[in-house]
Amino acid sequence: MAQIKVPVVRNILQANDRLASENRNRFDEAGIFVVNLMSSPGAGKTSLLEKTIDALAARMGIAVIEGDLQSSCDAERIQKKGVQAVQINTDGGCHLDGNMIQIALDSLDLSQVDLLIIENVGNLVCPAEFNLGEHEKITMLSVAEGDDKPIKYPLIFQICSVLLVNKIDLLPYTDCDVAKIRQTSKQLNPAGKVFEISCRTGEGFGPWLSWIEEKVGEHRKIRAGAAVPPQADSH
C-alpha cells in the first residue's frame, strides 16, 4: 500500500450541469423560452404566474413546472387558469435540479408551448447553485422582506437576468427602500433588469410582460428556423 495523490479537477455539479444542458437542447429544439423563477417563500411567485398567464395566455402557449416541498396547491392554482402545470414535490429538498425537470418534462406536451415557467422551491440560497437548463433566471423579492436581501444573499441577485420587486403596493407600510434594492443589485449585477410590480394590483406589469413577449418572440424564430440557437453546432 502506498499513499498517492490523484489530481482530479472536476466540477462537483457536472452531473447536474449535463442534465441541464440536455434539458436546454430539448427547449431549443421545441423553440420554447424557459425561465427559472426563484424567490423566498411567500414573495409572490405563484401570484406572478397567475397574473402573467391572465395577460399572455391568449397570445402564447404557456406551461408551468411547480416545485414545492409538499402539496400540489400551486399546480392546482395554475391549472385553474387552463394551462398545463406539473407539480414536483421535493419531499423536503430545498431546490429543483436538472434531473427533476427532465422527469417533469415527460408530463408536458411541449408542442403546445411557447413559454415554460419553472417555479423553484421558495428559498434564496440553494436554487441559485443548480442550473435547470433555463434560458434566464428570474429572482423575485417582495418589499416586505426588506431591502438588505441583495447584500445578504448575493449569488441569487448576481446571476438573475431580471429582478422583480413585488408588493410595491405595500411600500407605505414598510421601511423598505426600493432605491437601495436597485443600487445594491445593480452593483452585484450591472446587466440585470429591475421591474417594480404588484401582483395584487397589477401595477408595473407592462415592462415585465413586454420583456417576456420579446424573449418568446426570439425563441419562436429559432423554432421557425429563422435563426439558429447558439449551441446548435454541437451535434
**Positions that interact with another protein (CB under 8 A):** 1-16, 93-95, 97, 125-126, 128-130, 151, 154-156, 158, 184, 186-191
Q: How far is the CB of 158 from another protein (least distance, A)?
A: 7
Would you say 13 or 57 has its CB closer to another protein? Answer: 13
Q: CA 103 to CA 105: how far, in whole Å?
A: 5
Report the nearest approach of another protein to the CB of residue 184 (Å).
8
H or E segment at 42? none
Q: Which is nearer to another protein, 9 or 224 (CB)?
A: 9
CB of 1 to another protein, least distance (A): 5
Cell numbers for 72, please give them: 400540489
* Nearest CB to another protein, comparing residues 7 and 225: 7
User: Which residues lie below 8 Å from residue 230, measured CB to CB, with a gap of 6+?
Assistant: none
Q: Which is nearer to another protein, 30 or 156 (CB)?
A: 156
Hey, is 224 helix, strand or coil? Answer: helix
CA distance 161 to 158: 9
Dihedral angle at the C-alpha atoms of 96, 99, 100, 104, nearest 10 degrees?
Answer: 140
